[in-house]
C-alpha cells in the first residue's frame, strides 16, 4: 500500500517535466519586471493576457497592457498597449499603441501608432502613424502618416503623407509631403510637395520644383520642371531638359532703364525670368519690377532668330514722396516681337518692339498704355 503514493508522485512529476518541454498557455501574466511575474519568461510559453509595469513574453496571442514596455521574443497576434514602447523580435499581427516607439524585427501586419517612431525591419502591411518618423527597412504597403518623415528602404505601395519628407527606393500610388518627396528609382502614381524627385516617373509630379533623373511618362506641373526626357509634358514657368539652353539677357529700354534676365530656351519655345530697375526712368529713381515671359520663335537664315512673347510684370514704387504721382504697386501685361542676331556661338544681339498695358491692383483701372522699345545682348 505504501508503494502506490510513491508511484503516483513519480508519475505526476514525470508528466510535469514532459509538459514543460512543450508550449504552455499562460492565460494571464501579471509582471512587475521579468522575472518578477506570475509567469516569468519561458521560451516555450504562450501568453493570452499580459499586464503590469514591464513584461517579457515569447508569444502573445491576445491582449497586453504595460505601463512601461513589452519585450516579445517570438511574435504577437492581438493588441498591445504600452506607455513607452514595444520591441518584437518576431512578427506582429494586430495593433500596437505606444507612447514612444514600436519596433518590429520581423513582419508587421496591422496598425502601429506611436508618438515618436515606428520601425519595421522585414516588411510592413497596414497603417503606420507616428508623431515624428515611420521607418520600414524592407517593403511597405498601406498608409504611412507622420509629422516629420516617412522612410521605406525598398518598395512602398500606398500613401505616404507627412509635413516633412517622404523617401522610398521605389513607390506606387501617392506621396504627399509638406517639403520633399524622394523616390530613388521608379515612382508610379502622384508626387505632391514643394519639391519632388524621382529617377523615373510614371504619373504626375505637382510642386514648386519637380526633378526627374530619367524619363517622364506622364506630367510635371510646377514652377521649375526638369527631366532628361525631351518629349515629357511640362507645365511650368521654367522647363528644363538636356536640350534647354540657359542664357543671360542684359538690356535697356524706354520703360525700364536696366534689365537683367535668364532665358531658358528650347528649340522653338522659351521662358524668361528677370528683374528691372528704374521702371519710370529718371523721373523715379526708386522703382523697379520683376517679370516673366513665355514665347515661341523660329530660326531665320543662319544667324537670325525671330520670336514673339507675352508676359506680365509686377511694378513696385519704393519712393514714398512720389506716391501721389506713381502708385505703390502696379502690374503690366506686355506683348513683344523680337529679332535676334547671333554672329557668335555664345554672344548675340536683339531688338524688341511691343506694347504694355499697365493697370492698378484691385480696382482694375488702367494706369497707362505705352509702346515698348528694347535693345540688348544675349550671353551664352
Averaged pLDDT in 10-residue chunks for the chain of 380 residues: 51 41 65 78 80 90 94 93 95 96 96 96 96 96 97 96 96 96 95 96 94 89 87 82 90 90 88 85 69 91 92 84 69 94 91 93 84 94
pLDDT at res. 340: 94
Q: Do 114 and 95 fall into the same domain? A: yes
272 and 162, same structural domain?
Answer: no
The pLDDT value recorded for residue 323 is: 52
The DSSP-derived string for 316-375 is EE--GGGTTTS-SEEEEEEEEEEEEEEEETTEEEEEEEEEEEEEETTT--EEEEEEEEEE
pLDDT of residue 26: 65
Distance CA 156, CA 171 (A): 5
Query: DSSP character for 230?
Result: T
Does residue 363 belong to any structural domain of this protein? yes
Please check whether residues 280 and 228 belong to one and the same domain. Answer: no
Return d(Cα 248, Cα 366) in angstroms, integer.
32
Region for residue 49 given its phi and psi (left: phi exceeds 0; alpha: psi -120 to 50; beta: otherwise): beta
Which of residues 210, 242, 274 is at a domain's end?
242
Residue 15 within a domain: no
CATH number at residue 264: 2.40.160.20
Residue 61 lies inside a defined structural domain of this protein: yes
Distance separating alpha carbons of residues 378 and 63, to the nearest angstrom: 73
pLDDT given for residue 348 in this prediction = 94
Looking at 242, 265, 293, the residue that finishes a domain is 242
Do 109 and 56 belong together in one domain?
yes
Coil vs helix vs strand at 4: helix
- Give bridge partners of residue 236 from the DSSP assignment: 222
| Number of neighbours of residue 10 by Cβ within 10 angstroms | 10
The domain boundary residue, chosen from 242, 258, 279: 242
Looking at the fold, whether 264 and 363 belong to one and the same domain comes out as: yes
Which cell is 84 given? 513607452
In a domain, 173, yes or no: yes
Assess whether 291 and 372 both reside in one domain. Answer: yes
In this structure, is residue 126 part of a structural domain?
A: yes
Number of folded domains that form the chain? 3
Are residues 235 and 251 located together in one domain of the fold?
no
199 in Cβ contact with 182 (< 8 Å): no
Q: Give yes or no for a contact between 37 and 30, defined as CB atoms under 8 angstroms apart.
A: yes
Separation CA 110–CA 92 (nearest Å): 8
236 and 249 share a domain?
Answer: no
Q: Which domain holds residue 284?
A: 245-379
Residue 137 falls inside a structural domain: no
Integer CA distances (angstroms), 18 to 15, 21, 28, 269, in order: 5, 5, 22, 84
Asked whether residue 179 falls in the same domain as residue 285, the answer is no
For residues 79 and 104, membership in a common domain is answered with yes
- Distance (Å, rounded) from C-alpha 11 to C-alpha 19? 12
Residue 238 shares a structural domain with residue 250: no
User: Are residues 29 and 116 both part of a single domain?
Assistant: yes
pLDDT for 13 equals 40
Query: For the chain, how big is the Rg over CA atoms in Å?
Result: 34
Instruction: Return the closest-CA partner of residue 83 out of 99, 62, 63.
Output: 99
Q: Whole-prediction pTM value?
A: 0.76
In a domain, 14, yes or no: no
Q: Is residue 295 part of a domain?
A: yes
pLDDT recorded at residue 225 = 92
Amino acid at each position: 500500500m505504501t508503494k502506490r503514493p510513491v508511484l503516483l508522485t513519480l508519475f505526476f512529476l514525470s508528466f510535469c517535466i514532459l509538459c514543460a518541454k512543450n508550449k504552455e498557455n499562460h492565460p494571464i501574466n501579471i509582471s512587475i519586471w521579468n522575472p518578477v511575474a506570475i509567469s516569468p519568461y519561458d521560451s516555450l510559453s504562450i501568453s493570452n493576457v499580459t499586464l503590469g509595469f514591464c513584461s517579457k513574453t515569447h508569444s502573445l496571442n491576445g491582449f497586453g497592457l504595460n505601463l512601461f514596455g513589452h519585450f516579445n521574443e517570438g511574435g504577437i497576434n492581438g493588441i498591445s498597449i504600452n506607455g513607452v514602447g514595444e520591441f518584437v523580435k518576431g512578427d506582429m499581427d494586430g495593433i500596437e499603441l505606444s507612447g514612444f516607439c514600436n519596433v518590429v524585427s520581423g513582419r508587421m501586419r496591422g496598425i502601429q501608432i506611436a508618438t515618436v517612431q515606428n520601425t519595421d525591419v522585414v516588411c510592413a502591411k497596414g497603417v503606420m502613424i507616428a508623431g515624428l518618423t515611420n521607418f520600414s527597412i524592407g517593403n511597405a504597403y498601406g498608409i504611412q502618416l507622420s509629422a516629420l518623415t516617412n522612410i521605406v528602404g525598398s518598395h512602398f505601395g500606398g500613401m505616404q503623407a507627412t509635413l516633412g519628407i517622404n523617401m522610398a527606393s521605389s513607390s506606387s500610388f501617392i506621396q504627399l509631403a509638406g517639403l520633399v518627396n524622394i523616390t530613388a528609382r521608379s515612382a508610379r502614381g502622384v508626387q505632391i510637395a514643394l519639391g519632388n524627385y524621382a529617377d523615373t516617373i510614371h504619373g504626375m509630379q505637382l510642386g514648386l520644383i519637380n526633378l526627374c533623373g530619367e524619363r517622364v511618362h506622364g506630367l510635371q506641373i510646377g514652377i521649375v520642371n526638369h527631366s532628361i526626357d525631351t518629349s515629357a509634358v511640362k507645365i511650368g514657368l521654367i522647363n528644363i531638359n538636356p536640350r534647354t539652353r540657359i542664357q543671360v539677357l542684359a538690356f535697356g529700354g524706354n520703360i525700364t532703364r536696366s534689365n537683367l534676365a535668364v532665358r531658358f530656351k528650347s528649340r522653338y519655345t522659351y521662358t524668361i525670368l528677370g528683374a528691372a530697375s528704374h521702371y519710370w526712368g529718371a523721373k523715379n529713381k526708386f522703382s523697379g519690377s520683376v517679370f516673366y515671359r513665355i514665347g515661341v520663335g523660329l530660326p531665320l537664315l543662319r544667324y537670325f532668330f525671330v520670336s514673339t512673347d507675352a508676359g506680365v510684370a509686377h511694378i513696385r514704387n519704393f519712393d514714398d514722396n512720389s506716391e501721389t504721382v506713381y502708385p505703390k504697386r502696379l502690374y503690366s501685361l506686355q506683348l513683344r516681337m523680337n529679332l535676334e542676331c547671333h554672329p557668335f556661338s555664345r554672344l548675340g544681339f536683339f531688338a524688341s518692339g511691343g506694347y504694355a498695358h499697365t493697370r492698378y491692383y484691385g480696382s482694375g483701372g488702367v494706369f497707362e498704355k505705352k509702346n515698348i522699345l528694347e535693345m540688348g545682348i544675349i550671353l551664352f
